[in-house]
Amino acid sequence: MINASDLKAGMTFVQDGKLIKVLEASHHKPGKGNTVMRMKLRDVRSGGTYETTFRPNESFERAFLDSKSVQFLYSMDDTAFFMDLETYEQYEIPTESIENEMLYLLENMEVKIQFFGHEVIGVELPGSVTLTVVETQPSIKGATVTGSGKPATMQTGLVVNVPDFIEVGEALEVSTADGAYQRRAQK
C-alpha cells in the first residue's frame, strides 16, 4: 500500500480495479482546511486523463510493473508493433494509449515496454532521443544560443523550440521528459 502523499509523477497504482498512472502530483494547502494532494492522472487502460484531489493519508494498492527491452518495429493504422530481441515475440500496443511516446519513437529504436501481470500497458523511453529537423525557419546570421529560439518540426512530428542557428536536416538530442532541445547530436 502507498499513501497519496508518497505518489509521484510516473508512479502507477490500482484504484477501484483500474490501473492509474500519476502524470502530475503536488501538495496544496488551501487557506482554510487540511492539505490535499492535487493529481493529474491517466487511466492506463482507457487512456482517459483527469484531475482530482486526495487526502494525504488515503492509501492505494501500488502497482508493480515489469519491463522488457524491445525494439520498436513500426506503427500501422492505430497500432504500434514491438519485438522482443531475445525471443522475437511481438507485442502490439494501441497508439492512442502511447500517443505522447510515439512522438519520440523511431523505427528500430530500442525501448522498454511495461507489463502489469501479462498485460502490456506502456512504453518506457530513454532519457533523450536523437531526432532530425524536417521543418523550421531559415537560420539567422549571427544568431547565438541566447536567442529566444524558433519552433522546429522533427521527423516524428514533435515540435521543439530550438536556437535560431538550427537548420533543416540537423540531428538534435531532445529530452523525452519534456520535449526540450538539449544539444546538437554528436556525429
What are 115-134's pLDDT values in tens digits?
A: 888 888 888 888 889 999 99
Report pLDDT for 71. Answer: 93
Count how many domains the chain has: 3
**CATH number of the domain to which 25 belongs:** 2.30.30.30
Note whether 119 and 70 are same-domain residues. yes
Note whether 79 and 57 are same-domain residues. no
Last residue of a domain, one of 100, 124, 148: 124
Last residue of a domain, one of 99, 124, 149: 124
Note whether 70 and 114 are same-domain residues. yes
- CA-to-CA dists, residue 55 to 27, 52, 93, angstroms: 10, 10, 34
Note whether 52 and 97 are same-domain residues. no
Note whether 58 and 6 are same-domain residues. yes
Note whether 22 and 57 are same-domain residues. yes
- Burial (0-12, 13-18, 19+ Cβ within 10 Å), 78: exposed
What is the extent of the structural domain holding 157?
128-184
Report pLDDT for 81. Answer: 94
**CATH number of the domain to which 178 belongs:** 2.40.50.140
Last residue of a domain, one of 124, 152, 169: 124
Report pLDDT for 109. Answer: 92
Which helix (H) or strand (E) segment is 86 a member of? none
Report pLDDT for 139. Answer: 66
List the chain residues with pLDDT less than 70: 139-147, 187
- Burial (0-12, 13-18, 19+ Cβ within 10 Å), 82: buried
Report pLDDT for 171. Answer: 92
Note whether 70 and 120 are same-domain residues. yes
Note whether 19 and 58 are same-domain residues. yes
Give dist(CA 26, CA 71) in Å, integer: 34
Note whether 142 and 178 are same-domain residues. yes
Cβ(2)–Cβ(59) below 8 Å: yes
